[in-house]
Structure 1
Amino acid sequence: MKWFSWTAWASLLIILSVIGYSVSYQKVQELLLPAFSYEFSFNPVERSSFEYELPTRTITIGMAGDVLLHKDLNNYEDYRPSFSGVRDMTRSLDFFLINLESLAAGEAYELSGYPNFNSTDTIADGLVDLGSDLIMVSNNHTLDKRPAGLRQSLANLQERDLPYVGAYTSAEDAATKRIFEVDALTIGVVSYTYGLNGHIVPADQPYLVNLIDVAKIQSDIRDLDTEVDLVIALMHWGTEYELEENAEQNYLATIAHQAGADIIFGGHPHVLQPYEVMESGDKKTHIFYSLGNFFSGQTIENTNYGGVAVLSVETDGDDILAIEPSFYPTEVTFTPDRVVVNPMPESQASFWTNHIGVPLYE
């Protein structure tokens, strides 16, 4: 061990001393300090479940029956007094439609009643005063004054900024979809008539009037359904003065329902016909087969009773949650000064709402 120098011995003693001190210090700490537990527990805060609900709103869609201006009704300088009894109701609706079954081409095309109807253009001012948002112009009297009379009638509506559907001034006009933004809803509308009382659509102007054609109805509705929340189909159909829908109306309603129509409003019978909901799977179509006469000079039994069909659509802005039907009955009254429209007396209103099968609109 001679080779092991004294400096090596000194280093060894220092190392052993440090090790001894560390062991002794740890033992002392174990004796002096209390034991400490590292166990950890977690108690989560209890939270109640919460689902955010979008605010809902109700949008009212209403359609009035036929406006058919017979002789002595076709020359009023001002139609607004005739509608004053129902104006507040129609103007309260969010989206109001009406069927103008007479042309409004004015004196240049001869004012006339049955069988070829044409009135002063002032009827358009009356429709504006009612709060009309869309005018149905496809019916069996659309070409009563030939294509020129139709164009003038439509020009008179355009002059008042009244949108129309079912008859058109050009191919471009016909190709323009009738889509409306009504609050949270996007609504698309199509319109057709069974015929034209023998008048012929010129071969070079096929766009003038939408005639009932199954393939066209299916194509139009399916195409529109991809762009809107609701599709409304307006149908001029049925048998005049019959209080019930016929088999053809039911068939065409089925076609429109299967294509995607949500609402169908009908006219032409000039009397009130029932309401029906057509269902297949999750799809529902609300159908008012005929809304009767809203304003006319007819005196045949039941033709002075009509009204406004109303569908109250509940939506949260994303989905349609419910659609509820009701009916606002009206009556045409002949006074010494003029023909007027008023709310139907309660006794008759109860009968006709029961006949249609929906509650009274309130």
Structure 2
Amino acid sequence: MMCRGVAGVFCITFLLVITVLSHAEPNELQLTFVGDIMAHDVNYRMQNFSLIYERVKEYFTNDDLTFGNLEFPVVDDLPFSTYPAFNVHRSYVEAALAASFEVFSIANNHSLDKGKTGVLKTLGSLLMLKEGAGGRMYYSGIRGDTSRSFTPTVIRENGFRIGFLAVTQFLNLPQPSPYIYVVDYTNPAIRARFLEEIRSLTPRFDLFILSFHGDAEYQLSPHPEKRAFFRELLEAGVGIIWGHHPHVFQPYEIVTVDGTQRLIMYSMGNFVSGQGYHGKPGDAGDRWAYTGDSVLLRVRVTKTPHGVNVVSAEPVLIALYTTPTRDIVVDRLDRLAAAPIDPSWREYYRKRLGIMTHFLENMDTYLQ
């Protein structure tokens, strides 16, 4: 049995209801998931990184935990750098923390962009960021001590003991790295070992959340083998699978396993990037336009006698907007479609709103 979280897309996208935005009650969690937080040159040239989040941070400040994928090393003694080998400074991540992000995946194909030294220095940066956040920052996916196993990060929130683990299917550099948790599900032996590991881990937590970075880029439908692997992960005890890497949004679905509802997000697309920076107002129907809009997925989780239950997953359509000062910011797509901006761009966002609303209403067709 399964249900798609499409009902309510209009009320969530168009209305800001205080009860929707409020923190969860005890034994209930309100979680928000986004996709890739990237750092192209047009992003890190901004003078004020907090502007990226300003128009949507109300969703992050009024939930229990907000999740984002950091698609770059964080090394302060190297310069900022863009594709194909990213790097940022702590200030770039501090803006996300200030906007009330708490949980980060660090395992992705760009984790090794600055080599082993970059991984180790990223860990040092994350420790300093965590200290600066008063300890309220959680991350998973890389390690500094290869003699120790990758283990889930433990998050205690609102009466829940949460296990959070982040893995990536591959790295951009050809050599393997023992510092990054790589799980290529297309390799049967690796897949079997990982599923066995997950089966041993999940009983220790009320809720187990797995971040998975992989699959082909720019595809609106998940690969059938990834779908099968994700179903196996749910059956192994994972409560929420948070997928990213394709840089475009893919469907999500709520699936009933062993009497409880669990959530799969196949790809959350881009939250912030510079991939669509050179797009034009006439490109609304172009496939590349999907790299510039996505959703915030607001997920409500409760405890039941049978275990943790994903009660709802409500999408808020978002898009990237280049301001008159050339800052790239995230805003609600419906607001941009009615904003007092250049009429040609307003029409672009109006068309994208229609396209993405249709996508959400017809997610089944992308899961065939």
Query: In the alignment, is the contact (CA less than 8 A) between 1:169 and 1:208 conserved in 2?
Result: no
Match for 2:208 among 214, 231, 255? 231
Instruction: Indicate how the Cα distance of structure 1 residues 317 and 74 shifts in structure 2: closer, same or farther if over 3 A, else same.
Output: farther
When Rg is computed on C-alpha atoms for both structures, the one with the higher figure is 1
Match for 2:327 among 338, 351, 354? 338
Query: In the alignment, is the contact (CA less than 8 A) between 1:104 and 1:121 conserved in 2?
Result: yes
Q: What does residue range 256-335 of structure 1 map to in structure 2 within 5 Å?
A: 256-299=233-276, 300-315=288-303, 319-320=307-308, 323-335=311-323
Gaps of 5+ in 2: 1-24, 131-136, 185-189, 277-287, 336-349, 364-368
* CA shift for structure 1 position 79: 1.1
* Residue 355 of structure 1 pairs with residue 359 of structure 2: yes
* CA shift for structure 1 position 209: 3.0
- Which residue pairs with 2:9 in the alignment? none
CA distance in 1, matches of 2:360, 2:226: 16
Deviation readout 1:48-106 (Å, 9 max, x if unpaired): xxxxxxx9753111211101111232344541122111111112111111001122213
Query: In the alignment, is the contact (CA less than 8 A) between 2:259 and 2:306 conserved in 1?
Result: no
- 2:234 counterpart letter in structure 1: H
How many residues align? The count is 301
CA distance in 2, matches of 1:220, 1:91: 34
- Which residue pairs with 1:208 in the alignment? 180
Match for 1:242 among 215, 219, 235? 219
Instruction: Indicate how the Cα distance of structure 1 residues 295 and 318 shifts in structure 2: closer, same or farther if over 3 A, else same.
Output: same
- Residue aligned with 1:256, SS: helix
CA distance in 2, matches of 1:358, 1:181: 36
Query: In the alignment, is the contact (CA less than 8 A) between 1:67 and 1:294 conserved in 2?
Result: yes
* Residue 185 of structure 1 pairs with residue 150 of structure 2: no
Report which stretch shifted further, 316-325 or 136-145: 316-325
* Residue 170 of structure 1 pairs with residue 145 of structure 2: yes
Deviation readout 1:249-298 (Å, 9 max, x if unpaired): 21221221221111111101111111123344425431111111100000
Deviation readout 1:214-247 (Å, 9 max, x if unpaired): 1343133222211111111111122211111111
Match for 2:92 among 118, 123, 135? 123
CA distance in 2, matches of 1:321, 1:349: 30
CA distance in 2, matches of 1:77, 1:151: 27
Query: In the alignment, is the contact (CA less than 8 A) between 2:37 and 2:70 conserved in 1?
Result: yes
- Residue aligned with 2:29, SS: strand
CA distance in 1, matches of 2:297, 2:170: 24
Instruction: Indicate how the Cα distance of structure 1 residues 145 and 293 shifts in structure 2: closer, same or farther if over 3 A, else same.
Output: same
- 1:196 counterpart letter in structure 2: L
- 1:180 counterpart letter in structure 2: I
- Residue aligned with 1:160, SS: helix
Report the identity percentage.
24
Q: What does residue range 152-163 of structure 1 map to in structure 2 within 5 Å?
A: 152-161=121-130, 162-163=137-138
CA distance in 2, matches of 1:316, 1:227: 16
* CA shift for structure 1 position 353: 4.8
CA distance in 1, matches of 2:164, 2:357: 26
- Residue aligned with 2:30, SS: strand
CA distance in 2, matches of 1:157, 1:357: 39
Query: In the alignment, is the contact (CA less than 8 A) between 2:163 and 2:205 conserved in 1?
Result: yes
Gaps of 5+ in 1: 1-54
Instruction: Indicate how the Cα distance of structure 1 residues 246 and 340 shifts in structure 2: closer, same or farther if over 3 A, else same.
Output: same
Query: In the alignment, is the contact (CA less than 8 A) between 1:273 and 1:355 conserved in 2?
Result: no
Instruction: Indicate how the Cα distance of structure 1 residues 233 and 349 shifts in structure 2: closer, same or farther if over 3 A, else same.
Output: farther
Query: In the alignment, is the contact (CA less than 8 A) between 2:154 and 2:164 conserved in 1?
Result: yes
* CA shift for structure 1 position 350: 6.1
CA distance in 2, matches of 1:296, 1:121: 17
State the TM-score, normalized to the length of structure 1. Answer: 0.76
Query: In the alignment, is the contact (CA less than 8 A) between 2:42 and 2:328 conserved in 1?
Result: no
CA distance in 2, matches of 1:358, 1:323: 21
State the TM-score, normalized to the length of structure 2. Answer: 0.75
- 1:340 counterpart letter in structure 2: V
CA distance in 2, matches of 1:309, 1:215: 30
CA distance in 2, matches of 1:279, 1:319: 12
Report which stretch shifted further, 152-161 or 210-219: 210-219
Deviation readout 1:112-148 (Å, 9 max, x if unpaired): 2111111222111112112122110111101000011
Instruction: Indicate how the Cα distance of structure 1 residues 170 and 264 shifts in structure 2: closer, same or farther if over 3 A, else same.
Output: same
CA distance in 2, matches of 1:67, 1:327: 18
- 1:70 counterpart letter in structure 2: H
Identify which of structures 1 and 2 has the higher relative contact order when contacts are C-alpha pairs closer than 8 Å and 6+ apart. Answer: 2
CA distance in 2, matches of 1:214, 1:60: 31
